[in-house]
Each structure stands twice: as C-alpha cells, then as structure tokens.
Amino acid sequence: MIKKFDKKDEESGSGSNPFQHLEKSAVLQEARIFNETPINPRRCLHILTKIIYLLNQGEHFGTTEATEAFFAMTRLFQSNDQTLRRMCYLTIKEMANISEDVIIVTSSLTKDMTGKEDVYRGPAIRALCRITDTTMLQAIERYMKQAIVDKVPSVSSSALVSSLHMVKMSFDVVKRWVNEAQEAASSDNIMVQYHALGLLYHLRKNDRLAVTKMLNKFTKSGLKSPFAYCMMIRIASKLLEETEGGHDSPLFDFIESCLRNKHEMVVYEAASAIVHMPKCTARELAPAVSVLQLFCSSPKAALRYAAVRTLNKVAMKHPSAVTACNLDLENLITDSNRSIATLAITTLLKTGSESSVDRLMKQISSFVSEISDEFKVVVVQAISALCQKYPRKHSVMMNFLSNMLRDDGGFEYKRAIVDCIISIIEENPESKETGLAHLCEFIEDCEHTVLATKILHMLGKEGPRTPTPSKYIRFIFNRVVLESEAVRAAAVSALAKFGAQNDDLLPSVLVLMQRCMMDSDDEVRDRATFYMNVLQQKQKALNAAYIFNGLSVSVPGLEKSLHQYTLEPSEKPFDMKTVPLATAPITEQKTEIAPMATSKLPEKLAPARQDIYQEQLAAIPEFKGLGPLFKSSEPVQLTEAETEYVVRCIKHTFANHMIFQFDCTNTLNDQLLQRVQVQMEPSESYEVLHYVPAPSLHYSQPNSCYSLVRLPEDDPTAVSCTFSCTMKYLVRDCDPNTGEPDDDGYDDEYVLEDLEVTVADHIQKVLKPNFGAAWEEIGDEFEKEETFALATVRTLDEAVNNIISFLGMQPCERSDKVPENKNSHVLFLAGVFRGGHDVLVRARLALADGVTMQVTVRSTDENVVDVILASVG
C-alpha cells in the first residue's frame, strides 16, 4: 500500500491523513494491548479502526496474523463501551473470511442478540449470521425466529436481511421462517415492511400462485414504504411478463395506480415498468410518458437523468409517443450535466422532424468532446439511425462524423464512427465521394489495424467505381510505405482492384506492385506477386475471379479437404468444387440501438454451423462416400408447438443425395420411445435409400434419426418434391417419477406434416462483391431469358423479397433494397448450384398493375439455367 513518502504527501503535509502511513506489522504489534487489563476503550477503538482501515485499503492479512488479532479482539467483549463493541462486530464481519475459527464468538454474539441492550441486538444478529454456516444455523434457528418478529424495528430488520443473505446458503432452513416473515410484513415500520416483503418474495418466487396471492394482499393492505412499493411494482411487472397478462389485468391497474403515488421514486418506478413492458400501446404509454415529462423539469439532476433516459428508451419503439415532450427535452439540451444533455438530444433526434436535425447537430457538436466515450457511442448510434430515416441529411451527418473522427477517442468509439460512415456510403451513392475522402484522411493517422484494413477494403471496393479513382491511389500507397504488415497487405489488395478495373491506371498500379514485391513481409510480397501476374494477363474473367470476387469456400472446409487430399495422394488434381462453400455472410445489420448496452465482448468467430453438421454426418457409417456437404437448411418444424412429440427437420444437400435429419423430442414423461424413425413417401421419383433410426428417445432428451434419399439422376430438372412423413417407433410406458420403463412395449406411429424440398435447397448463397465482373466472367454461353407476370404481388419490395426467399440466392450490390418512389428495379442474385456450378440471376422488375419480371439467368451449366427458369415459372 501507499507507504512510500512521495513528494506530493510532503507538500500537502502527511498530517492530513492520520492513516496514510500505517504499517500492518506495527498495527498488529499495537493490538497486543487488547490483552491488557483493564481495557483502555479509547486506545483499543483506535487500533480496531486502523485494522479495518487497512483491510479496506486492500492490505493482505495472513491467516495466522489475522487469527491472532481476531482472538485478541474477542477479549474486548468484556468492555461495555458501546462504540468499541460495535467496532468488534465490524471486525468480525471483515475478518470472517480471513481468520480461522471465527465461530469462537458465537456465544458472545448470541448473548448480545438476545440481551437487554437494543443497540447491540441488531448489529449482533448481522455479525452472527455472517459467521454462521448451515450446520450451526439449526442451533440459532429459535433465536432467529424470535428476532424476526421482535418489536424493535432494527432487530427485526437485521434478522430479515440476514435471513435473506442466508437463503442462498440454506434455503430449506430459512423457508421454515416464512410465517414469522409474514407477521413482520404487517409491522408499522417501513423498513421492516420492505425487508419482510423482499424475504417473502425470495422464498416464494418459484411458486407463481403464492406470489400472486402475496401481491394481492399487500396491494390491498397498502404498504407505507416507498421501497416496498418499488419492489411490488417489479414483482407485478415480472408476473405480467411471465403470464403474458393483458393490460386489463389487475396487476397492470396496480402499476398504473402507482403513477399517482406521492413518492417520486415510486412514480418513476411505475413509469419505467410500463415503458419496459413489451407490446405496450401508445395509449397505455401516455400516462407514463406524461409523468416522465414532468420529471424533465425537476431541480434534481438524478430525476431529470432518470426521466430522459427512460424517454430515450420509449423513443426507440414509439417515437410519436414522446413528441409531446419535445419542448421539455429542448430545455434539457443545455443542461449542465452532459449525460442529460446527450440523452435529450439523442431522444430529440429520434422524435424530431427533419428540419430540426441541423440545429441539434450543431448543439451536440459544441460539447461532444466533454462527454464520456459511452455516450459518444450513443450519439453515433443515434446519427446512424437518423441517416436511415432522413437520407437527405447525409451531408450534415457526414461533416459531423468526420469531425468526431478527428477527436480523441477509444477503439469502440472510432469503430462506431467508421461503421456509421460506411453504412451511409452504402445507403447513399451521392455521399460516396465525401465519405471516402473522410476515411482516407482518417487512415493517414489511424492506430487501429482493424479499422485501417477495413477502410482499405472499402476503398478497394468502392474507389475504382468513382469518377476519379486516381486520387485514392496516393492514400493507399502511403499505407504500403508506412504501416504494419497487416495494413500493407490490405493496401496491396486494394491497389490491385484499382488496376483491374481502370485500364488507364493499370500501368502505374503495376509499377507500384513491382515495388511492393520488394517488401520485407512474406504476405505482402506474395500478394503483390500474385496480383502482378494476374493483372499482366489483362483478362476480365481472371480479374473477376481472382481480384474482385475471391474465394467463396469455407476456410475450415478448405483446410480439411486439402489435408484429406495430402493423406490420399491421387493422380487427379485437387478439385476446388469439392470444398464446401462458406455459408453466406449475414448482411442484415441489426440497427437496434441500445444506448446503455456497452457490451465489449470480443466478437468470437463461432465454428460455422455447417462445419458442425459435416462432422456429425461423417461420423455415421451409412453416410460414407456422399462427398462434401453442400448445404444445410434452416430447421423446419414438422409438428405443432406443444404436442406429444416435437419433430423438426434439417435438410442436408449433397451432390447427388439428400439427408434428412429429424430432431425429435419426447415431451411425455411416462413414455420411452425406441427405434424411432421417420418414414418418407416421396411424390416424385426420389428414392429413399436408407433409414438410420434413433435407438431411444427419453423424456425431454432430444435425439436425431436420419433418412438418406437419392436425387433423381435421369431428370436433373426435378428439384422440388413433397414427402409425406410418418414417425414410427416402439413405445414402452414408464414410471413418470423414476423413469423406469416396463418390460413390454408396442409399436405405434405418429403422422407428421409434409416436408417440402424446393429449389432453394439446391442452391447455396454466395456474395459476389462485384456482380458486373462476375456476370462477364461466366459469359453468355448458357444465358436464357424469360418474362413473367407476378399478378399477386403489389409492391417491388414484396417481389424482391419473394424472389430472394424462393431461390435462396444472395442479393448482391445491395440490390435487395428498393429505392423509394421508383417503379422499376434490378435485382442481382448470386449462388452456387449443387455440384458446384456458379449461377447468377438478373431480374428486372417493373411495377404497373402487378409486377412484371424479366429474368436472365447465366450459369456454367445449361441444366442449372433450365432448373431456375422452370422453377420460377
């Protein structure tokens, strides 16, 4: 601890803190006077204070020295000095985990807790319960029961709170005190009421009926403690949530009535509870919002903060409900507490009109440097949401964001800004150039490798397609000269994209590449050499395949396939098409804004779901030799919810086969199912080859059975099929309590819903960052085109979503977003068909009465083109 004399202490005079230079050994030495007779209360008190102070500063006490001091301290119980005795209790609590044999003081404490001195009784109970374990609890049970119903409030409260602490340790013993707690709840003292309610709830919380009854009783009797009211509101809203009670429930009425309580604490708690309820309508919110509105003008900062923070939450879901408070919120944007001002502004940004945006942004930029990073992220998120709402405001936002980017700030903050700018660029083509310029400026002086590589990737993707791509080259090449390996490598990749797309830049890019080939790092050199050679070929198809669109296989899958290949050397060259594809990245970004969620969990790369399935299936001997797993579908439910058996199916597609994995759960605790399999009757010429039954299905332990189906070979266009499914099994009844099954069983079956296989099951999504290049790469050898009329579809959005989900392909170039007020749109889809054939779809949509769609399909295989067109028709 701080024992060194540093300069500052000398200046301020060490006398300002008498405990500043305490030495543990010296204090323990002093503690010997505890053994002197007669006891000197004042000196002993001073030494005990020093010991507690040291413990509080984090000083480490060894077991032996702590035990020694503790035993010496027990002598002080002979003194009748009140403060000294109280400090002894504190020492006992502080040392309970450090010293040995603390139970030595049990009898002294029991004496104090049942004695005549009321001042001692409460604290003695709390100290005693701190050192009591399960075995000793029985011995003091009688005293505890008495103490809970004691007429002295401090004794009763102490006993109740201590019981609550002990619930975790010995629930069964404390549960026996429920009657005493019940009696204490009707005490006149407000704190006793509160503590009794808390203990009762903890004892009964698993019994919903008992909690409901208790709540009913207390809402009628009317407790006086505001704390108890807050607790009841929380219990009531939890009950409402669990029972999914409507807003006509008496529980809701109770919470609403608390909005009229005379304590602000209770009113706020009730308002907050209503706001947090799921499925709350604007009308039900109104009273809660209006009390929060009143709090906005409170002189207490904490109340203003609480109110505006809650209103901010409301604004996320129901911005219109908060509009009424706009005036009050306006007054808060100049609040001296910056947290309140920030929350007020971000709320206004959500509720205000487009016209107020400029003014608010100006206001917020005046103090953004003063607030903590947590709130800065809140601001950035609010801006991000705003850009989606008012795309026309992007120039104001962009300006603001670039200023923030220049300020100091941590990684989280910078990342939020960069993400926000990137999303604006992607949403608004007009903002692309300014956005890229800001990002270029940022990477000139960026200490975060992750952000620099991300931005370089962005520049490579978007830069070549701007009117003046040459201006980005300098920024990118600067990185090659100045940065760490990872950034240099990313810069080389970005450069290559410029060279591939802009013929007039190609010579200069080649010169730069040549320089990069002299880099000190392997990765950078390798990339440069590779791109150099590709670029020199000057072939569009090569550029598309190796520079723009890269590999679409899953990296762990590739690793495994290559490993396998080296284990079994063969004459044939390694075939890239046997490698499973990477499951398409989820492009849908959650824009949900949680202002207070400061989750800093590192984003872990979970093993891809498909890789897990691949391993599981490979472990089953019947499924050998099917080749790599091509695609696994999302689970399909084949039963209604809450039936006897729950079955869902996952469709695994291979090159020429499909495996159906049925995950079954038995929800009957009096049955054991054995030899469970799902019999399938196909409607088309699909052939069921093999069933792998699940040996047994115990109550609530899911297990899987499988069916192997061969896809029709003679007719490659037959991609869709309906299977009628029946689950067959042997039932053995069993004792619901022990799970012991009867000896005999009987066969039974259970009809499941039909299972559909569609064209989407045969296609894997693949993202082509540069669709145009990929389109040229495949060429028009097998191009086909057809026009369809979608009569039932009313909007372009709906049409786009239908096509995407029907074909199960990846929308590229953000073409899944239809700009507003347009009546024509082009959708680009990319995927790989089972067997490894690339397939691209361009769908031109026009909106008239219905939607007319002209579909152009290109693929490396003619059959695939036919399959797609046939299935769309």
The residues binding other proteins (CB under 8 A) are 2, 8, 15-19, 45, 48-49, 52-53, 56-58, 82-83, 86-87, 90, 119, 122-123, 126, 154, 157-158, 161-162, 164-165, 191, 194-195, 198, 201-202, 205, 227, 230-231, 234-235, 237-238, 241, 264-265, 268-269, 272, 276, 300-303, 305-306, 336-339, 372, 374-375, 596, 598
Instruction: Identify which of residues 127 and 440 has a Cβ nearer to other proteins in the complex.
Output: 127
Least gap, CB of 369 to other proteins (angstroms): 14
> Is the CA virtual torsion 484, 489, 490, 492 positive or negative?
positive
Least gap, CB of 81 to other proteins (angstroms): 11
CA–CA distance, 436 with 414 (Å, rounded to integer) = 16
Per-residue DSSP letter, 577: G
Least gap, CB of 8 to other proteins (angstroms): 8
Instruction: Identify which of residues 251 and 727 has a Cβ nearer to other proteins in the complex.
Output: 251
Least gap, CB of 85 to other proteins (angstroms): 11
> Is the CA virtual torsion 10, 15, 20, 22 positive or negative?
positive
Least gap, CB of 86 to other proteins (angstroms): 5
Least gap, CB of 187 to other proteins (angstroms): 14
How would you class 247 by CB atoms within 10 Å of its CB: exposed for 0-12, middle for 13-18, buried for 19 or more?
middle
Instruction: Identify which of residues 338 and 732 has a Cβ nearer to other proteins in the complex.
Output: 338
Least gap, CB of 75 to other proteins (angstroms): 18
Instruction: Identify which of residues 16 and 701 has a Cβ nearer to other proteins in the complex.
Output: 16
Which residue intervals of 296-410 are DSSP H helices?
A: 301-317, 319-322, 326-332, 338-351, 357-365, 373-389, 394-406
Least gap, CB of 332 to other proteins (angstroms): 13
Cα distances from 441 to residues 446, 636, 872, in angstroms, run 9, 49, 47
Contacts of 513 by beta carbon, 8 Å cutoff, 6+ apart: 492, 495, 496, 499, 528, 531, 532, 535
Least gap, CB of 232 to other proteins (angstroms): 8
Whether residue 192 contacts residue 157, with contact meaning beta carbons closer than 8 Å, is answered with yes
Largest CA distance in the chain: 108
Per-residue DSSP letter, 445: T
Least gap, CB of 468 to other proteins (angstroms): 45
Pairing of strands 755-757, 631-632: unpaired
Least gap, CB of 383 to other proteins (angstroms): 19
Instruction: Identify which of residues 52 and 542 has a Cβ nearer to other proteins in the complex.
Output: 52
Contacts of 534 by beta carbon, 8 Å cutoff, 6+ apart: 496, 500, 542, 543, 546, 547
Nearest to 811 by CA among 853, 845, 768, 851: 768
Instruction: Identify which of residues 199 and 553 has a Cβ nearer to other proteins in the complex.
Output: 199
SS3 705: strand
Instruction: Identify which of residues 45 and 659 has a Cβ nearer to other proteins in the complex.
Output: 45
Instruction: Identify which of residues 205 and 359 has a Cβ nearer to other proteins in the complex.
Output: 205
Q: Per-residue DSSP letters for 79-95?
A: ---HHHHHHHHHHHHHH
Pairing of strands 694-697, 703-710: unpaired
Q: What angle do CA 250, 253, 254 make, to 5 degrees?
A: 90
Instruction: Identify which of residues 303 and 840 has a Cβ nearer to other proteins in the complex.
Output: 303
Instruction: Identify which of residues 342 and 384 has a Cβ nearer to other proteins in the complex.
Output: 342
How would you class 7 by CB atoms within 10 Å of its CB: exposed for 0-12, middle for 13-18, buried for 19 or more?
exposed
Q: What angle do CA 564, 567, 572 make, to 5 degrees?
A: 75
Least gap, CB of 300 to other proteins (angstroms): 7
CA–CA distance, 3 with 9 (Å, rounded to integer) = 10
Whether residue 749 contacts residue 727, with contact meaning beta carbons closer than 8 Å, is answered with yes
Three-state secondary structure of 396-415 = HHHHHHHHHHHCCCCHHHHH
Per-residue DSSP letter, 744: -
| Helix 226-243 vs helix 264-276: crossing angle, to nearest 10 | 10
How many residues does the structure list for the chain? Answer: 873
Least gap, CB of 644 to other proteins (angstroms): 32
Cα distances from 821 to residues 64, 387, 825, 829, in angstroms, run 80, 18, 11, 22
Instruction: Identify which of residues 182 and 871 has a Cβ nearer to other proteins in the complex.
Output: 182
Least gap, CB of 598 to other proteins (angstroms): 5
Pairing of strands 837-847, 824-833: antiparallel
Instruction: Identify which of residues 27 and 847 has a Cβ nearer to other proteins in the complex.
Output: 27
Phi-psi region of 721 (alpha: psi -120 to 50; beta: other; left: phi over 0): beta
Instruction: Identify which of residues 205 and 389 has a Cβ nearer to other proteins in the complex.
Output: 205
Instruction: Identify which of residues 47 and 734 has a Cβ nearer to other proteins in the complex.
Output: 47
Least gap, CB of 155 to other proteins (angstroms): 11
Least gap, CB of 159 to other proteins (angstroms): 11
Whether residue 617 contacts residue 653, with contact meaning beta carbons closer than 8 Å, is answered with no
CA–CA distance, 746 with 486 (Å, rounded to integer) = 65
Least gap, CB of 24 to other proteins (angstroms): 15
CA–CA distance, 391 with 394 (Å, rounded to integer) = 6
Instruction: Identify which of residues 201 and 475 has a Cβ nearer to other proteins in the complex.
Output: 201
Instruction: Identify which of residues 266 and 617 has a Cβ nearer to other proteins in the complex.
Output: 266
SS3 576: helix
CA–CA distance, 15 with 3 (Å, rounded to integer) = 14
Least gap, CB of 205 to other proteins (angstroms): 8
